């Protein structure tokens, strides 16, 4: 139940040509405290509830627990969330033994495009595609919980 993840900005939309799947995601936060977040997500037609702990000093590793819930439960819980629901489309791009998730944000975060890669260990080596830009793993402004309160368009 530990997530090891790195985040990057994107230099072009060339990733779309390599995507194997795209998913519409709407998510909100029941709790966005820096020590822990409780997130409700609707991904296509499925609901999820996720609890995440505070990241380590590098921002790459933290506790994560997720459970699938019914779409109806997720829709009801979204109504209870803090202000600032995240709206994005996620593109899945396989590269070597890894999968990049590229999020194209809409609404108040329109214009922001982020790539994430989950790793099995902190020092895992992975292939970096040409469209991968600056790493922002340890920059809290790029966390979805932060973006829900201080949207990208307000920076």
Residues with a catalytic annotation lie at: 29
Please calculate the CA angle 69-103-36 and round it to the nearest 5 degrees: 55
Q: Is 103 exposed, middle or buried (0-12, 13-18, 19+ CB in 10 A)?
A: buried
Determine the distance from the C-alpha atom of residue 150 to the mean position of all C-alpha atoms in its chain, rounded to a whole number. 15
State how far the alpha carbon of 134 is from the alpha carbons of 38, 56, 103, 114, in Å: 28, 20, 15, 10
Q: What is the rounded distance in angstroms from the CA atom of residue 127 to the CA atom of residue 113?
A: 19
């Amino acid at each position: 139940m530990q997530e090891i993840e790195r985040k990057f900005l994107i230099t072009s939309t060339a990733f779309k040509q390599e995507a194997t799947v795209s998913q519409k995601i709407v998510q909100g936060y029941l709790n966005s405290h820096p020590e822990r977040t409780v997130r409700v997500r609707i991904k296509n037609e499925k609901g999820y509830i996720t609890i995440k702990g505070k990241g380590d000093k590098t921002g790459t590793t933290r506790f994560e627990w997720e459970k699938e819930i019914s779409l109806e439960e997720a829709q009801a819980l979204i109504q209870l969330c803090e202000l600032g629901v995240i709206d994005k489309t996620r593109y899945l791009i396989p590269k070597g033994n890894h999968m990049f998730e590229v999020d194209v944000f809409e609404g108040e975060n329109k214009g922001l495009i982020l790539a994430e890669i989950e790793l099995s260990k902190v020092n895992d080596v992975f292939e970096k595609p040409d469209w991968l830009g600056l790493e922002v793993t340890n920059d809290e402004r790029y966390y979805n919980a932060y973006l829900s309160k201080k949207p990208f368009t307000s920076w």
